[in-house]
Amino acid sequence: MRLTPTDFPTVSDHELRELWRRFRDPDVRRLILEVHRARAAMRQVHADALDAQLAIWHKEDGELKAKLQHVIDAMLEEKVRLGVMGGSLPKD
């Protein structure tokens, strides 16, 4: 079975815990922690995006801007941490 970055079986949290118990190699553990951190970041960004959507529905401009800023800041923090900066600069 040939795996690609978009087509592979997802690793469950249970499987990650089992891998953590089985493998003491620091590199393997770093990868497990990276998956865990990425999932936590995704959950938080999704929650902030849903809050932004609710703010749109309720016409709460201040709350909308705050939640969108949380999303932008969280994504920027991860990009900086991973060393994958790129894209276009914001326009004034």
Domain carrying residue 24: 13-80
DSSP letter (8 states) at residue 4: B
Closest CA to 48 of 70, 63, 72: 70
pLDDT in tens, 22-69: 999 999 999 999 999 999 999 999 999 999 999 999 998 888 899 899
Question: Is 0.85 topped by the overall pTM?
Answer: no
User: Is residue 63 within 8 Å of 55, Cβ to Cβ?
Assistant: yes
Backbone angles phi, psi at 16, to 5 degrees: -60, -45
Residue 91 pLDDT class (50, 70, 90 cuts):
low
Asked whether the beta carbons of 19 and 28 are under 8 A apart, the reply is yes
Residue 21 located in a structural domain: yes
On whether the CB atoms of residues 71 and 83 are closer than 8 A, the answer is no
Q: Is residue 41 part of a domain?
A: yes
Number of domains in the chain: 1
